[in-house]
Amino acid sequence: MAVIEAEHLSKRFGKKVLAVDDVTFSIRAGAVTGFLGPNGAGKTTTLRMILDLVKPSAGSVRILGQRYRDIPRPATRVGALLDSSGFHPGRSGRNALRVVAAGAGLPDTRVEEALTMVELEGAARRAVKGYSTGMKQRLALACALLGDPEVLLLDEPANGLDPEGIRWLRTFLRARAAEGRTILISSHVLAEVEQTVDDVLIISKGKLLAQGAIGELTRTAQPVVRARSPQAEKLEALLTARGAAVNRLDTALAIRGPASAEVGEVAQANGVVLHELFTEVPSLEDLFLEIAGTRREL
Amino acid sequence: MISLLRAEFLKLRSTRTSLGLGIAVLLVSLVPTVLLIAFIPTHLLNGGELGAGATLVTYIVLVFGILGMTNEYRHGTITYTYLATPRRARVMVAKLIVYGSTGALAMLAALLVAQLVGVIGLPMRGVSYHVPGGGALADYARQIGVAGLVTCFGVALGAFLRAQVVTVAGVLIWALLVEPLIVAFKPGVGTWLPFNVFGQVTSSTLATDAGNVAAHSGLARPEAFLVSVAYIAVVSVAAVVVSMSRDVT
């Protein structure tokens, strides 16, 4: 069952900027979906259209089968982290959450639970202006969790987090996913979400380039054979003559086309010494770069 | 709607804006009243000086109303406000109720402080203090009501224009400079201008101090009240209509 369904969704700001261009996708229930793309790809605009904060120029989007604004008490069904700067600087962390909870018709007990979940209870009385970026990000996450929602939309949640914070976030998201929640998480740092997501949507320059289960997409991605040789130039020429795509930097080669066994055989047949030869399993980043057509080897 | 009102009251209580309002109201109700009681010749002291700060309070609550809405955009809190309550008209109604009542309460507090100054200060000048009678009380009640209306007008303008500095500066320039000039040179037009209309609901606040020559010969109080409400309604509806098509980015 699809939790979020977008059909031919477009958003144009003014006459010149087409932020989202005819995007159609669906997000399945209970999955963690990575919404991936470089900065300015249209991820945030798409998320804001899902949440009725930005009006689509064309197309439609439904969440839980209806428009966000039609969901009764939406904070209890959908939680969103959009912008960690969306808090009044003079308000304490606890009061920032209490304001949102009150508006959503939630009891103050949920505020304390959310603060505990994001491990901010010790700083809850401090004004938000004294928070670090990471703390603001956790506060924004607490906001998203206030209503104990079944769907979470997280826009660049790792922004501003240190490595420890990123690890904490990853563990946190895995725990939420294990509870069966649907999570849509946008990021431009692919390594951050690679270990967390089940499905991916890949967007670039407003256009959706790919969607599907991450396992299927990486399987279809072409593997890269890495080789290192003191006769790299000779090996490059031999492989290129056989139709392989080869990039060379000094003694290192990145080869697309032939399998590693074939590369080894070519080297052996032509007396080329190899110091290293292995097949690299495509990462999410490789997949993204391949799909987006912006790969620069080595 | 109850939860929305709770949220709006909590927003007021949890920042220094309301503290600033309280201090400003206290100052503008204390200082002019104390100065008048201290320096006016005793034969001119008749109790009228106890409402001297009311005009300033009206402008303070006007700015307070504008800040109530524009602060949401300035600090980006509007995103969470609309996520919790996607029906934007409901947010507007809640703000009008909460800020309108707070503006009215601010005026009530200012008038009470002024009376307290009278109770203490007038006998010190050898003038006896008289508890306000029916006419004065009715005038005070109108001032309280107008303060509520003006605050609502500020909220509606803030929602419509969004940009805080531009809205505050523009509205104050209009209310203190442009409108009094129009009233002075084109009283027929000026009678219907918003701050003059608010002033006509009670003749002792905005209108008289803005140099309004038409206040007493313009609209009757009930008409002025209805036109005031109409102004607020029109700007509020316009703000909601605009906000519904406005992207929160």
What are the pLDDT digits (tens) for A234-272?
Answer: 999 999 998 888 888 889 998 888 888 999 999 999 999
Judged by a CB distance cut-off of 8 A, whether residue A72 touches chain B is no
Q: Which two tokens stand for residue A1?
A: 């069952």
Q: Which residues pair with A29 in a beta bridge?
A: none
Q: Could you give the CA distance from residue A269 to residue A244 in angstroms, rounded to a whole number?
A: 17
ipTM score for this prediction: 0.78
State residue A292's pLDDT score. 67
Of A53, A88, A104, which is closest to B77 when you measure between CB atoms? A88
Q: How far is CA A69 from CA A73, A182, B82, B189, in A?
A: 9, 19, 9, 42
Angle at CA of residue B229, ends B237 and B241, nearest 5°: 5
Q: What is the pLDDT of residues B186-243, one digit of tens each?
A: 888 888 888 888 888 776 444 444 444 444 457 788 888 888 888 888 888 888 888 8
Q: Taking the complete model, does pTM exceed 0.80, yes or no?
A: no
- Which element (helix H / strand E) includes B233? helix B221-245
Strands A199-204 and A32-36: what pairing?
parallel
Interface test with B, best of A85, A91, A108, A131 (most B CBs within 10 A): A91
- What does the buried/exposed string (b/e) look like for A32-45 if buried means 16 or more CB atoms within 10 Å of the residue's CB? bbbbbbeeebbbbb
Name every chain A residue with its beta carbon within 8 A of the beta carbon of B15. 88, 90-91
Judged by a CB distance cut-off of 8 A, whether residue A97 touches chain B is no
Pair A69, A81: CB distance under 8 Å: no
DSSP B163-202: -HHHHHHHHHHIIIIIHHHHHHH-HHHHTTSHHHHHHHHS
Cross-chain residue pair A54–B249, CB shorter than 8 Å? yes
What's the gap in Å between the CA of B113 and the closest CA on chain A? Answer: 28
Pair B215, B203: CB distance under 8 Å: yes
Q: What is the pLDDT of residues B116-126, one digit of tens each?
A: 888 888 788 77
What's the gap in Å between the CA of B172 and the closest CA on chain A? Answer: 25
Name every chain B residue with its beta carbon within 8 A of the beta carbon of A85. 76
State residue B217's pLDDT score. 57
Phi, psi of A5 (to 5 degrees): -130, 120
Q: What is the pLDDT of residues A135-150, one digit of tens each?
A: 888 899 899 989 889 9
Q: Which carries the bigger pLDDT value, residue B133 or residue A255?
A: A255
Name every chain A residue with its beta carbon within 8 A of the beta carbon of B81. 103
Judged by a CB distance cut-off of 8 A, whether residue A90 touches chain B is yes
Q: Could you give the CA distance from residue B52 to residue B114 in angstroms, rounded to a whole number?
A: 8
Interface test with B, best of A64, A88, A110, A129 (most B CBs within 10 A): A88
Strands A32-36 and A182-187: what pairing?
parallel
Of A55, A75, A95, which is closest to B84 when you measure between CB atoms? A75
Cross-chain residue pair A90–B15, CB shorter than 8 Å? yes
Type of residue numbered B66: I
Cross-chain residue pair A88–B75, CB shorter than 8 Å? yes
Judged by a CB distance cut-off of 8 A, whether residue A83 touches chain B is yes
What's the gap in Å between the CA of A292 and the closest CA on chain B? Answer: 26
State residue B215's pLDDT score. 45
Of A68, A92, A102, which is closest to B3 when you measure between CB atoms? A102
Question: What 3-state class would DSSP assign to A19?
Answer: strand
* Nearest-by-CA chain B residue for A87: B77
Pair B104, B148: CB distance under 8 Å: yes
The ranges of chain A with pLDDT < 70 are 84, 191, 221, 290, 292-298
Which residue bears the tokens 């990145």?
Answer: A254
Interface test with A, best of B77, B80, B92 (most A CBs within 10 A): B80
Name every chain A residue with its beta carbon within 8 A of the beta carbon of B77. 86-88, 99
* Nearest-by-CA chain B residue for A44: B249
State residue A297's pLDDT score. 41
pLDDT band, very low/low/confident/very high, at B183 (cuts 50, 70, 90): confident
pLDDT band, very low/low/confident/very high, at B108 (cuts 50, 70, 90): very high
Cross-chain residue pair A103–B3, CB shorter than 8 Å? yes
Type of residue numbered A117: M
Q: Could you give the CA distance from residue A91 to residue B104 in angstroms, rounded to a whole number?
A: 25
Q: Give the domains, in start order, of chain A with CATH numbers.
A: 4-219 (3.40.50.300), 222-281 (3.30.70)
Strands A78-81 and A207-213: what pairing?
unpaired
Q: What is the pLDDT of residues B39-95, one digit of tens each?
A: 888 777 776 667 777 778 888 999 999 998 898 988 889 999 999 999 888 998 899
Which residue bears the tokens 């690890």?
Answer: A167
* Nearest-by-CA chain B residue for A80: B83
* Nearest-by-CA chain A residue for B14: A91
* Nearest-by-CA chain A residue for B73: A86
Helices (H), chain A: 43-50, 93-103, 108-117, 133-145, 163-178, 190-194, 214-220, 232-241, 260-269, 284-292
Q: What is the pLDDT of residues B204-215, one digit of tens each?
A: 444 444 444 444
Name every chain B residue with its beta carbon within 8 A of the beta carbon of A45. 249
Question: What 3-state class would DSSP assign to A178?
Answer: helix
State residue B65's pLDDT score. 92
What's the gap in Å between the CA of B242 and the closest CA on chain A? Answer: 12
Name every chain B residue with its beta carbon within 8 A of the beta carbon of A98. 10, 14
Residues of B with CB under 8 A from a CB of A: 3-4, 6-7, 10-11, 14-16, 71, 75-77, 79-87, 245, 247-249
Of A71, A103, A143, which is closest to B4 when you measure between CB atoms? A103
Judged by a CB distance cut-off of 8 A, whether residue A285 touches chain B is no
Q: Which residues pair with A23 in a beta bridge?
A: A9
Pair A115, A97: CB distance under 8 Å: yes
